[in-house]
């Protein structure tokens, strides 16, 4: 206790009002601090629903621990104060004893109160603070600790200059145990171990988080690795330095992923299922996962051209002997005059390929390793 009277002293200790106040505050102040930490309108014990009634118990209200009388349910919990008197040395009765308690009521009293529905048990209906905290820790492990080390908050990297960096303070969970990490300013790579101690040497034992200068252990990045199973492909705009230029293997927030080699320079086509589609839409290859096809450019051949003709006018003229001259082609009859003038359509075009791609934007196709 922060306050204590030494009763081992000999000679007889006089008891005054100040002495009694010292004794009272020695336990009341610490209890008030504990109640404040627990929270407001919390069931400490009892207050069990029994149908039309509720059992007695203890609750917190406005920073106090108050006994609750229980009884027939009512809409509100009200606070009442019971005052008791004591005779003083001058033979006068004065009100000196005060007992505050909570009970059911139909309206909020002058001393305060609240709706019964606002009263809450310990989290997860634990029988004690300890059991509730243990349950909370178990739940946190199940929803957060997908990997041995997870950054829950802070640890923001900044001022990366040369081989030095700054990392803000933060909160990290190591195998279910929460560690408050201090800020760091120094060389990288640096390692933060499960005791909350920074080092530029790889820890020989125990768990740690690596910063080089960035890290792979932020909660959102751990969750991404957990939520995407092997074989899944996601699409993202990412910084190129997150992936190795040769192998495509990811690091930092993309640890556990790699760039998809099969999707380089390709657009996705949906897998075909069910009945065959229209001839100009369906392809048997669409039924085989991983089929690739298509080209950036296409060169037309004669076979790709639609059937067509090249007609032109066939002017005629009369020669000196009165005959008629014709310009003959494969699309007009042969001349019947004395002289038939033959002509052919000339060849043109270079046969260059043309770009048949739709408008596009380059993004990264990333798959889980």
Per residue in 122-145, pLDDT tens?
Answer: 776 666 677 777 777 777 777 777
| End-to-end CA separation in angstroms for the chain | 57
Q: Name 7's bridge partners.
A: none
Please give the pLDDT value at position 337.
46
Cβ–Cβ < 8 Å for 208, 193? yes
Q: Could you tell me the CA-to-CA distances from 252 to 151, 161, 162, 192, 214 in Å, in that order?
A: 13, 18, 18, 15, 6
- Number of neighbours of residue 259 by Cβ within 10 angstroms: 21
Torsion of CA 85, 87, 92, 93, to 10 degrees: 10
| Token couple for 101 | 């308690």
Determine which of 75-79, 85-89, 114-118, 265-269 has the lowest per-residue pLDDT on average.
265-269
Confidence of residue 52 (pLDDT cuts 50, 70, 90): very high
* 140 DSSP assignment: H
Work out the pLDDT band at 287, boundaries 50, 70, 90: confident
Report the predicted TM-score, pTM, of the whole model to 2 decimal places: 0.53
Higher pLDDT, 247 or 262: 247
Mean pLDDT on 294-304: 80
| 288-304 mean pLDDT | 80
Instruction: Say how far apart CA 216 and CA 191 lie, in whole Å.
Output: 12
- 37 compared with 77, residue with greater pLDDT: 77
The torsion region of residue 138 among left (phi > 0), alpha (psi -120 to 50) and beta comes to alpha
Which stretches does DSSP call E strand in 221-353? 233-236, 257-259, 297-298, 317-318, 324-328, 339-342
Q: What is the pLDDT of residue 317?
A: 55
Joined together, the tokens standing for residue 103 give 């009970």
Are the beta carbons of 58 and 24 closer than 8 angstroms? no
Residue scoring higher pLDDT (264 or 62): 62
Name residue, tokens 């920074």.
198
Supply angle C-alpha 19, 22, 25, rounded to 5. Answer: 150
- Residue 89: phi, psi to the nearest 5? -65, -25
Residue 93 CA to residue 261 CA, distance in Å, equals: 93
Report pLDDT digits (tens) over 86-104.
Answer: 998 898 999 989 999 999 9
Which one has a higher pLDDT value, 54 or 133?
54
Mean pLDDT is highest, among 128-132, 218-222, 289-293, 346-350, for: 218-222
Token pair of 281, please?
Answer: 């839409």
Whether residue 319 has pLDDT greater than 70: no
Question: How far apart, in whole angstroms, are the C-alpha atoms of residue 355 and residue 299?
Answer: 9
The whole-number pLDDT of residue 333 equals 46
């Amino acid at each position: 206790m922060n306050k204590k009277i030494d009763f081992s002293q000999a000679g007889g200790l006089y008891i005054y009002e100040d002495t009694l106040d010292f004794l009272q505050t020695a336990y009341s102040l610490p209890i008030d601090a504990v109640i404040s930490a627990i929270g407001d309108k919390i069931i400490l014990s009892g207050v069990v629903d029994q149908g039309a009634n509720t059992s007695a118990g203890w609750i917190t209200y406005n920073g106090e621990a108050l006994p609750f009388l229980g009884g027939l349910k009512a809409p509100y919990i009200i606070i009442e104060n019971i005052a008791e008197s004591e005779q003083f040395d001058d033979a006068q009765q004065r009100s000196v004893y005060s007992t505050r308690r909570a009970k059911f009521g139909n309206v909020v009293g002058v001393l305060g109160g609240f709706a019964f529905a606002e009263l809450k048990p310990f989290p997860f209906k634990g029988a004690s603070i300890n059991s509730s905290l243990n349950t909370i820790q178990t739940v946190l492990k199940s929803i957060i600790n997908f990997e041995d080390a997870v950054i829950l908050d802070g640890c923001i990297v900044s001022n990366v200059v040369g081989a030095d960096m700054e990392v803000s303070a933060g909160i990290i969970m190591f195998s279910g145990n929460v560690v408050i990490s201090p800020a760091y300013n120094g060389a990288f790579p640096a390692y933060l171990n499960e005791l909350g101690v920074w080092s530029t040497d790889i820890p020989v034992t125990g768990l740690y988080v690596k910063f080089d200068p960035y890290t792979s252990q932020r909660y959102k990045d751990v969750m991404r690795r957990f939520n995407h199973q092997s074989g899944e492909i996601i699409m993202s705009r990412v910084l190129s330095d997150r992936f190795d230029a040769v192998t495509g293997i990811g690091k930092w927030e993309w640890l556990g992923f790699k760039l998809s080699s099969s999707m380089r320079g390709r657009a996705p086509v949906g897998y075909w299922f069910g009945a065959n589609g229209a001839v100009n839409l369906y392809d048997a290859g669409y039924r085989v996962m991983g089929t690739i096809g298509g080209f950036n450019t296409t060169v037309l051949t004669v076979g790709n051209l639609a059937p067509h003709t090249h007609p032109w006018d066939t002017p005629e003229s009369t020669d000196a002997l009165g005959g008629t001259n014709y310009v003959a082609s494969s699309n007009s009859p042969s001349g019947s005059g004395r002289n038939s003038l033959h002509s052919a359509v000339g060849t043109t075009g270079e046969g260059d390929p043309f770009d048949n791609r739709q408008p596009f934007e380059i993004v990264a196709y990333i798959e889980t390793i």
